[in-house]
């Protein structure tokens, strides 16, 4: 195969989302090591205002690349492609790979505005999970435009260390035989963190179980903006202070850097998250935890259901999601109890080992065919559902999925029921 000259496209400013910072750098390293391409340029985008967009579109048209690869979530790739199409003069169009993040639906109006320009190219939208690929299948006309590949991890960065486990446990005064769960990520209504603690506390008391729960991450007050439920600053922290301090098995660690997270992953026995966030297309925290050999207890929601493909010790908690009560998707308490008890009964710390399935080297092999098959993937437009989503975001930007009485709309269920169907097939 002829080596393709590639331009990687990312934002210049550091993303405000820590996970996106890690993902973008890992994607850059992924392509830098691919034998099938030669990185000709890296184009950094500083803003999404019209002048900057058209300026970068012109700059891109002068590079004569065979392949354009978007590895960041902002600015929306559609705006750059729209500008690039205006300036490119060569009849041979470069192929395009776009790595999709959780905010794809938020950018629906921008994607729709570039629909005709996108049809000029062969495009692969690379999703981070099967659930997200199913979601895009509802929004794009050509299924050949869509593939699913996990976001990669740096090789060897998440190894398991027995020495690190012992020293961290000693510092926390945790006995070696004591069972430790860990949650890392945003402390948010979207992630159901307080609900996790409440249900684990009930489980502990009901069945007389002994375990600790480590929690690490920053508080956020995003609320549920899709239906217009915004929180005041400090609201989630205030709720935490009212409900959590009296729960003696919870140890809050604050916000941690990557080295500190690695230590606590090694010291723990199981990662747990009950997130039902609508943008939960992947999950960098459980991926990094799982790579150290930690078993995972996750909801069967969104990208979480794909973790079973890469991490054999993944336990999935059922999610309640239906339009009859118009409520947000929620982890099922009975399913959680059953899942945790099943994990405890079968747990053996001696079986732990590092997992390499998400390493850069393995992901490069998986991505090779995607590059080869680009020539047979012409973009063929968006579906009627995508048009509806774009219209709602344009009309009601601050609450695009709100229904009657502040609940979710039917459009939300039509779009996101794919986030649970993937796991139902696997059960």
Query: Could you read off the pLDDT of 31-83 as tens digits, one per residue?
Result: 999 888 999 999 998 766 777 878 889 999 999 899 999 999 888 999 999 99
Angle between helices 284-291 and 258-267 (to 10 degrees): 60
Share of the chain above pLDDT 90, in %: 62
The confidence score (pLDDT) of residue 322 equals 65
Partners of residue 96 on adjacent β-strands: 68, 123
Query: Could you read off the pLDDT of 131-179 as tens digits, one per residue?
Result: 999 999 999 999 999 999 999 998 878 889 999 999 999 999 999 899 9
Distance CA(387)–CA(366), nearest Å, equals 32
- Domains parsed from the chain with CATH numbers: 4-152+361-389 (3.40.50.2000), 162-351 (3.40.50.2000)
Q: Say which range, 98-107, 263-272, 366-375, 387-396, has the weakest mean pLDDT.
A: 366-375
Evaluate whether 149 touches 160 at the Cβ level (below 8 Å).
no
Between residues 2 and 106, the one the model is more confident about? 106
Distance CA(227)–CA(229), nearest Å, equals 6
- Quote the longest CA-to-CA distance of the chain: 71
Q: Is the pLDDT of residue 371 over 80?
A: no
Cβ-Cβ contacts under 8 Å for 280 (sequence gap 6 or more):
102, 301, 302, 303, 304, 419
Query: Could you read off the pLDDT of 377-408 as tens digits, one per residue?
Result: 899 999 999 999 999 999 988 888 888 777 78
Half-sphere exposure of 389 (CA within 13 A, CB side): 27
The confidence score (pLDDT) of residue 1 equals 59
Strands 270-273 and 180-184: parallel
Average pLDDT over residues 186-196: 94
Average pLDDT over residues 243-262: 92
């Amino acid at each position: 195969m002829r080596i393709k000259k590639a331009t990687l496209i990312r934002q210049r400013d550091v993303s405000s989302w820590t996970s996106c910072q890690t993902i973008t750098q890992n994607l850059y390293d992924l392509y830098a090591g691919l034998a099938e391409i030669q990185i000709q340029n890296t184009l950094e985008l500083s803003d999404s205002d019209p002048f900057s967009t058209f300026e970068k579109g012109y700059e891109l048209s002068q590079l004569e690349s065979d392949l354009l690869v978007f590895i960041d979530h902002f600015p929306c790739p559609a705006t750059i492609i729209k500008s690039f199409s205006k300036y490119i003069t060569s009849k041979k169009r470069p192929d395009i790979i776009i790595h999709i993040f959780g905010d794809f639906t938020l950018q629906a109006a921008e994607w729709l505005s570039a629909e005709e320009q996108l049809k000029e190219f062969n495009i692969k939208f690379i999703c981070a999970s099967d659930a997200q690929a199913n979601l895009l299948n509802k929004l794009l006309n050509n299924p050949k435009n869509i593939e699913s590949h996990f976001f990669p991890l740096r090789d060897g960065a998440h190894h398991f260390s027995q020495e690190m486990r012992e020293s961290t446990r000693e510092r926390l005064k945790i006995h070696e035989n004591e069972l430790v769960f860990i949650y890392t990520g945003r402390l948010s209504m979207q992630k159901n963190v307080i609900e996790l603690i409440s249900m684990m506390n009930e489980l502990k008391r009901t069945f007389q179980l002994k375990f600790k729960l480590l929690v690490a991450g920053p508080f956020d007050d995003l609320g549920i903006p899709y239906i217009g439920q915004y929180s005041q600053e400090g609201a989630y922290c205030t709720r935490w202070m009212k409900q959590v301090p009296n729960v003696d098995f919870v140890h809050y660690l604050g916000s941690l850097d990557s080295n500190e997270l690695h230590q606590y992953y090694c010291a723990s026995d199981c990662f747990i998250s009950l997130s039902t966030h609508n943008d939960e297309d992947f999950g960098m925290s459980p991926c990094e935890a799982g790579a150290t050999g930690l078993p995972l207890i996750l909801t069967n929601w969104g990208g979480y259901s794909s973790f079973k493909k890469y991490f054999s010790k993944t336990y999935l908690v059922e999610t309640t999601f239906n339009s009859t009560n118009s409520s947000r998707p929620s982890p099922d308490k009975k399913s959680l109890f059953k899942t945790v008890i099943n994990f405890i009964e079968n747990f053996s710390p001696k079986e732990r080992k590092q997992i390499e399935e998400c390493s850069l080297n393995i992901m490069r092999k998986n991505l090779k065919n995607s590059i080869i098959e680009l020539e047979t993937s012409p973009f063929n437009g968006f579906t009627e559902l995508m048009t509806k989503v774009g219209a709602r975001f344009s009309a009601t930007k601050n609450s695009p999925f709100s229904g009657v009485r502040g609940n979710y709309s039917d459009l939300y269920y039509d779009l996101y029921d794919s986030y649970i169907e993937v796991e139902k097939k696997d059960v």
